[in-house]
C-alpha cells in the first residue's frame, strides 16, 4: 500500500474520530439519551478503521521482514566467508565461532564433531564468568579470556557489545602472533556486524 494512501486513511480516520465527539456532545445537550444510531455509527467507524489499520500493518510488515531477512542472510554469508578466510589463512587456527552474549551462534567454522550450540553456550558463560572475575579482582574491562590446554588454546574476545569471537588454536600457536591475527580478524569482521 503506498505511503500516501496510508496517510490519507489515517487522516480520514482521525477526522472522523475527532468529529464524532462534537456530534455526540451536541446530541447530548439536546437529548438526555444517546441515540442508538450514533452507537452503531461509532461501531461501524471503529470496525472500518480497525480493518484499514490491520490491512495497513500487514502490508507494511511483509516487505520489511523480507528485506530484514535478506539483509540478515547476506550479512551471515559475508561473516561466514570472512571466518573461512581467517581459518584457512592461518596454520594455527583450527576453528572460530561468532556468538551473541546470550550464547546464540551467528556463524562458525568448527572442526567436524564439534557441537556449535554447546560451544556457543559455553563460550558465552565463560566470558560472563571472566568479566565477573575481572570486576571482583578490580582488573577493569576484560580484553580476552584464554583457556590453555594440552591440545591448544581457546581465546574469547569481544568484537562489540553484541558479539563475541571464540578462536580455537593449536598448541604450536605463538600467543603474540595469535592475538595479532585475532585483532586483524576482528577489524575485518566488525564492519560486517553493523
CATH of the domain at 136: 3.30.450.30
Are residues 95 and 168 located together in one domain of the fold? yes
pLDDT at 71: 57
pLDDT 10s digits, 98-116 = 999 889 999 999 988 899 9
3-state class of 173 per DSSP?
A: coil
Average of pLDDT values for 127-143? 88
Are residues 54 and 97 located together in one domain of the fold? no
pLDDT at 98: 94
Element (H or E) spanning 191, and its range? Answer: none
81 occurs within a structural domain: no
pLDDT at 10: 53
82 occurs within a structural domain: no
pLDDT at 180: 94
| Phi/psi at 156 (5° precision) | -105, 130
Local confidence band at 27 (pLDDT 50, 70, 90 cut-offs): very low
Given a contact cutoff of 8 angstroms between Cβ atoms, the answer to whether 171 and 153 are in contact is yes
pTM equals: 0.62
Are residues 40 and 96 located together in one domain of the fold? no
pLDDT(30) > 60:
no
Given a contact cutoff of 8 angstroms between Cβ atoms, the answer to whether 157 and 165 are in contact is yes
Mean pLDDT over each residue of the chain, to the nearest integer:
75
Are residues 99 and 186 located together in one domain of the fold? yes
Are residues 65 and 93 located together in one domain of the fold? no
Element (H or E) spanning 104, and its range? Answer: none
In total, how many domains does the chain have?
2
75 occurs within a structural domain: no
Are residues 97 and 170 located together in one domain of the fold? yes
pLDDT at 115: 93
Closest CA to 123 of 167, 171, 175, 79: 167
46 occurs within a structural domain: yes
Are residues 189 and 93 located together in one domain of the fold? yes
- Look up residue 7 and give its three cell numbers: 496517510
> What is the C-alpha to C-alpha distance for residues 121 and 118, in angstroms, rounded to an integer?
5
83 occurs within a structural domain: no
Residue 9: domain span? 3-69
Are residues 114 and 185 located together in one domain of the fold? yes
pLDDT(138) > 70:
yes
56 occurs within a structural domain: yes
Question: Between these two residues, 50 and 123, which has the higher pLDDT value?
Answer: 123
80 occurs within a structural domain: no
Are residues 60 and 102 located together in one domain of the fold? no
DSSP state of 165: E
Amino acid at each position: 500500500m503506498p505511503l500516501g494512501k496510508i496517510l490519507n486513511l489515517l487522516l480520514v480516520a482521525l477526522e472522523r474520530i475527532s468529529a464524532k465527539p462534537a456530534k455526540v456532545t451536541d446530541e447530548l445537550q439536546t437529548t438526555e439519551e444517546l441515540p442508538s444510531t450514533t452507537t452503531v455509527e461509532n461501531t461501524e467507524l471503529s470496525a472500518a478503521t480497525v480493518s484499514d489499520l490491520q490491512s495497513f500493518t500487514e502490508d507494511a510488515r511483509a516487505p520489511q521482514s523480507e528485506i530484514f531477512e535478506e539483509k540478515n542472510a547476506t550479512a551471515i554469508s559475508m561473516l561466514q566467508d570472512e571466518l573461512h578466510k581467517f581459518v584457512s589463512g592461518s596454520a594455527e587456527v583450527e576453528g572460530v565461532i561468532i556468538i551473541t552474549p546470550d550464547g546464540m551462534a551467528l556463524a562458525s567454522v568448527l572442526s567436524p564433531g564439534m557441537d556449535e550450540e554447546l560451544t556457543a553456550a559455553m563460550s558465552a558463560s565463560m566470558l560472563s564468568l571472566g568479566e565477573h572475575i575481572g570486576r571482583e579482582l578490580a582488573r577493569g574491562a576484560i580484553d580476552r579470556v584464554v583457556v590453555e590446554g594440552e591440545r591448544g588454546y581457546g581465546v574469547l574476545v569481544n568484537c562489540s557489545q553484541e558479539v563475541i569471537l571464540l578462536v580455537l588454536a593449536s598448541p604450536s600457536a605463538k600467543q603474540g602472533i595469535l592475538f595479532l591475527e585475532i585483532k586483524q580478524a576482528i577489524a575485518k569482521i566488525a564492519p560486517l556486524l553493523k
